[in-house]
Amino acid sequence: MSEDAKRIKMQDDEIFTDEHRALRKTVRAFAKGLSEHALEWDEAGIFPREVFKQAGDLGLLGIRADPNFGGLGLDWWYTTCYVEELVQSRNAGLNMALMVQSDMATPIINEIGSDELKREFLEPAIAGDKIAALGVSEPGGGSDVAAIRTTAKRDGDDYIINGQKLWITNGTRADFITLAVRTGDDGFGGISLLVFPTDVKGFHVGKSLKKIGNKSSDTAEIFFEDCRVPARYLLGEENQGFYHIMTNFQGERLVAAQGCVAGMDLAVRDAIRYGTDRKAFGRPVMKFQVWRHKMVEHLTSIEAARRLTYFATDKVNKAPMAATKEITMAKLFAGDLAQKVIYDCMQIHGGFGYVTEYDISRAWTDIRLITIGGGTSEIMKEILTKLEGL
């Protein structure tokens, strides 16, 4: 049995069935094929559009979505398999772009969009024929959704949109954006959601932002100047978008935690292999007690993080908002832990860990985002203090 097959078989038999393992095998093969281009696409600052189509053809962009519109109609455990195996691409930017498509921009359409909107936007996104982005963050606020200033004013059968969004993954080439706008008064009660096609007059991309990590995902600032879209592109009810954004955040943070845990595990396994082969002072680096102890300490902490994410996954399967505390804890714990784990995995590589051709060097810059994107670690702590009544 190959090492990959053993790793897949080792997953919890009580949670994962043969169907889950079959999905793991599919995603792993897909991701490993992409890994051949990891450095090339990071250096280019983008990856080919056709990758979305390849993922769509495998059914990976709509795992939990309505089968009537191309989805698989499965649960969060299948998403877990997808996220955990996708790290084999060795390219966090690509993974993030795909997960924006599958787990951040389209679930809201799947949940509250009309059948008409699902046919026009969700179905081609699941197929990989259209690229989706999520437009929430603005220069004046990311996690502070109640501070959104981009406006959508009703004008007959249309909305006229003005404003700006920032940090938008897939933003330079998205065919549509699931867009948070202000349709009412200040605060969370005046926010709505629209599907926004990017071929509308008045929309333009400012620039693709250069980042220290996740380089292959395009991240844009985008502008709306008197952009007119049909009112039928409204998702759900006007001024009721805040709740759906908050629910969507739970999914975003959960996949972030899951991917983070899987990425740490991969990095430690790589580090152990490298430390077994690399010699210092006449013996393998892994023969030194300090490194043996560090690696098993990290494996122990990673397993604790995995159990927390699995507990959150079990709860979110039953009711997304009921798992807010566990998801927040999982993202906080995994994100902060990853900073220490990846640091040590890089350190064991010595000078080669500082060379971009080595996966660990890119993992080190990529992992920094986990404590920032989708809500900073500080925001996670504030959420938890409120949930605990502190």
CATH classification of the domain holding 176: 2.40.110.10
SS3 category, 74 = coil
Q: How far apart are CA 314 and CA 305, in angstroms?
A: 14
Cα 32 from chain centre: 18
Structural domain harbouring 296? 242-387
- Tokens found for residue 31: 């991701």
Provide the CATH number for the domain around residue 94: 1.10.540.10
Three-class SS state of 284: strand
By the 10 Å C-beta count (0-12 exposed, 13-18 middle, 19+ buried), 137 is classed as buried
Cβ-based neighbours of 141, under 8 Å, separated by 6 or more: 147, 148
Based on the fold, state whether residues 327 and 347 are members of the same structural domain: yes
φ and ψ at 238, to 5 degrees?
Answer: -65, 140
Residue 125 CA to residue 127 CA, distance in Å, equals 5
233 and 151 together in one domain: yes
Residue finishing a domain among 68, 103, 127: 127
How many CA atoms does the CB half-sphere of 296 hold within 13 Å? 7
pLDDT tens, per residue, the chain with 390 residues = 555 555 544 456 678 999 999 999 999 999 999 999 999 999 999 999 999 999 999 999 999 999 999 999 999 999 999 999 999 999 999 999 999 999 999 999 999 999 999 999 999 999 999 999 999 999 976 677 888 999 999 999 999 999 999 999 999 999 999 999 999 988 889 999 999 999 999 999 998 999 999 999 999 999 999 999 999 999 999 999 999 999 999 999 999 999 999 999 999 999 999 999 999 899 999 999 999 999 999 999 999 999 999 999 999 988 867 899 999 999 999 999 999 999 999 999 999 999 999 999 999 999 999 999 999 999 999 999 999 999
What pLDDT was estimated at residue 207? 86
Residue 43 structure tokens: 């250096």
The answer to whether 128 and 56 have CB atoms below 8 angstroms apart is yes
- Same domain membership, residue 268 and residue 232: no
- How far is the C-alpha of 143 from the C-alpha of 101, rounded, in Å? 19
Catalytic sites, residue numbers:
252
Distances 243 to 141, 247, 317 between C-alpha atoms, Å: 17, 6, 18
pTM: 0.94
Q: What is the CATH number of the domain that holds 270?
A: 1.20.140.10
Which residue's structure tokens are 């700006």? Answer: 164
Q: Indicate if 267 and 233 belong to the same structural domain.
A: no
The 10s digit of each residue's pLDDT in 302-351 is 999 999 999 999 999 888 678 999 999 999 999 999 999 999 999 999 99
Residues 53 and 139 in one domain: no
Are 256 and 354 in the same domain? yes
At 294 the pLDDT is 97
Q: 217 and 160, same structural domain?
A: yes
CB contact at 8 A, 199 and 130: no
Closest CA relative to residue 336, chosen from 294, 363, 297, 305:
305
CB 252 within 8 A of CB 104: yes
Would you state the pLDDT for residue 2? 55
Per-residue exposure over 276-301, b if at least 16 CB sit within 10 Å of its own CB, e if not: eeeeeeeeebbeeeebeebbeebbeb
Last residue of a domain, one of 196, 219, 239: 239
C-alpha span between 128 and 177 (Å, rounded): 15
345 and 257 housed in the same domain: yes
Among 196, 216, 239, where does a domain finish?
Answer: 239
Number of domains within the chain: 3
Burial class of residue 79 (count of CB atoms within 10 Å of its CB; 0-12, 13-18, 19+): buried
Helix (H) or strand (E) holding 164: strand 158-169
Residue 187 sits in the same domain as residue 119: no
